[in-house]
């Protein structure tokens, strides 16, 4: 699992540019699934067939990461950019970035500014060491996208890297695909695109697949650091079963299915209420006439920075829980809520 997470977080794949990460995931899972395809939007969709007696389940983890889109190259060879997804100013100052080619850059800002509070993205630039526009244009063109430079660390049972959001979710799905021995369900594992730009890939994939149930796997924030915004989720206490965020109220049937499966198999879990943000289930549950949907979340500190931090045991338990959910029969009547 560690090696898988390290591999997936190191691969370039900002929103709208998921080709490389898509290829890497495809190579990981191809031997374990029945069919695999890439749709018009770029979603990677892997189908694992059931026995015809189960549900049609869409699992979603987004492949894309936030990034910096180059919008202008100045005469001195400095690059101006816009945010692609939720980039914040303080998390970006003097950070290192990487382009698809592997080219490195540093994010600087116009230092004539009096106060740090006045720094906006339009007053920042990327320095790729070029000394002229011509030199820069040989390496980068308008529309190219950089991501936080990947660097994986492990510390006391925690994994640290950029792009944990949501390569951790991708890794969880990949490991689940490998672990599932048999399933009654038709499983569609969708590695979605452009989640960070508004849940776009999940929307079209859900329309095309018409699932009975949708489950997204994504990171969520925690409330376990000094004087942080209060939130009842902590690293190491198990995968989080989402109650709500700003995009979705988890369907009670799906939420209770997750809880009852965790309890039945003694898998630690926690319940998550995220007061902001959203994930692919926000798009899936509103597809066509509606899809009962939930979210399995991976607690993560410092989300949308280059040092997103998760707990190794939460990943292991997340895989265990999702594998059990997908291997067993699902009869909503059994959990008394139909």
Partner 1 sequence: MSDLLRRLTEARGVSGNEDEVRQLIIEEVTPLADEVRVDRMGSVIAYKKGTRSNKKVMLCAHMDEVGFIITRIDDNGMLKFATVGSIDPRILPSKRVRIGDKAIPGVLGIKAIHLQEPAERERAVKVSQMYIDIGAKNKEEAEKLVKPGDYAVFDSECVYFGDNKVKSKALDDRVGCLTLIEALKSSYPFDLYACFTVQEEVGLRGAKVAGYSIQPDMALVVEGTTCSDVPGVDPHKHSTRMGEGPAISIADLASYSNKKLVSFLIQCAKNANIPFQIKESISGGNDAGEIQRAAGGIMTAVVSVPCRYIHSPSSVADLDDINNTIKLVQEFLKGCEAI
15 binds partner 1 (CB under 8 A): yes
Look at the chain and count its residues.
Answer: 338
Paired tokens of 114: 């009096």
Give the number of other CB atoms < 10 A from CB of residue 106.
15
Q: Which is nearer to partner 1, 200 or 255 (CB)?
A: 200
**Helices marked H in 147-250:** 164-179, 200-209
Known catalytic membership, residue 195: yes
Which residue matches tokens 């049972």?
Answer: 157
Q: Which is nearer to partner 1, 51 or 120 (CB)?
A: 120
Burial of 153 (0-12, 13-18, 19+ CB in 10 A): exposed
39 binds partner 1 (CB under 8 A): yes
d(CA 310, CA 336): 34
Q: Which is nearer to partner 1, 80 or 324 (CB)?
A: 80
In the shown chain, the binding pattern of residues 63 to 92 toward partner 1, with x for contact by CB under 8 A and - for none, equals: ------x-xx-x-----x-x-x--------
Binder of partner 1 out of 13, 16, 238, 239 (CB under 8 A): 16
139 binds partner 1 (CB under 8 A): no
41 binds partner 1 (CB under 8 A): yes
Say whether the peptide bond before residue 166 is cis (omega within 30 degrees of 0): yes
| Paired residues of 158 in beta bridges | 155, 311
d(CA 150, CA 134): 28
Binder of partner 1 out of 65, 192, 204, 270 (CB under 8 A): 204
Binder of partner 1 out of 48, 203, 242, 320 (CB under 8 A): 203
46 binds partner 1 (CB under 8 A): no
In the shown chain, the binding pattern of residues 105 to 124 toward partner 1, with x for contact by CB under 8 A and - for none, equals: -----------------x--
Exactly one of 195, 196, 272, 308 is catalytic; name it. 195
d(CA 269, CA 253): 17
Helices 312-327 and 252-264: crossing angle, nearest 10°?
Answer: 110
Residues making contact with partner 1 (CB under 8 A): 15-16, 39-41, 43, 69, 71-72, 74, 80, 82, 84, 122, 141-143, 194, 197, 200-201, 203-205, 207-208
Q: Give catalytic residue positions.
A: 195
């Amino acid at each position: 699992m560690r090696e898988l997470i390290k591999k997936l977080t190191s691969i370039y794949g900002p929103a709208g540019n998921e080709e490389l990460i898509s290829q890497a995931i495809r190579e990981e899972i191809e031997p374990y699934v029945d069919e695999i395809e890439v749709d018009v939007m770029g979603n990677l969709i892997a189908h694992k067939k059931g026995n015809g007696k189960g549900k049609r389940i869409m699992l979603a983890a987004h492949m894309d990461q936030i990034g910096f889109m180059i919008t202008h190259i100045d005469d001195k060879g400095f690059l101006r950019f816009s945010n692609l997804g939720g980039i914040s100013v303080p998390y970006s100052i003097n950070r290192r970035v990487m382009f698809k080619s592997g080219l490195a850059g540093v994010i600087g800002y116009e230092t004539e500014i009096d106060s740090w509070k006045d720094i906006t993205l339009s007053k920042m630039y990327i320095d790729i060491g070029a000394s002229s526009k011509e030199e820069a244009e040989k390496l980068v063109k308008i529309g190219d996208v950089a991501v936080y430079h990947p660097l994986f660390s492990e510390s006391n049972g925690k994994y640290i890297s950029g792009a944990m959001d949501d390569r951790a979710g991708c890794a969880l799905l990949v490991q689940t695909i490998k672990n599932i021995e048999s399933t009654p369900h038709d499983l569609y594992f969708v590695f979605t695109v452009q989640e960070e730009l508004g849940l776009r890939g999940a929307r079209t994939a859900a329309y095309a697949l018409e699932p009975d149930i949708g489950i997204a796997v994504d990171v969520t924030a925690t409330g376990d650091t000094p004087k942080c915004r209060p939130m009842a989720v902590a690293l190491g206490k198990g995968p989080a079963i989402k109650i709500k965020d700003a995009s979705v109220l988890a369907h009670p049937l799906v939420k209770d299915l997750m809880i009852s499966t965790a309890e039945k198999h003694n898998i630690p879990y926690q319940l998550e209420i995220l007061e902001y943000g959203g994930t692919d289930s926000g798009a899936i549950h509103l597809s066509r006439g509606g899809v009962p949907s939930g979210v399995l979340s991976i607690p993560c500190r410092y989300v949308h920075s280059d040092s997103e931090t998760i707990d190794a045991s939460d990943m292991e338990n997340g895989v265990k829980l999702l594998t059990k959910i997908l291997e067993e029969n699902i009869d909503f009547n059994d959990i008394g809520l139909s």
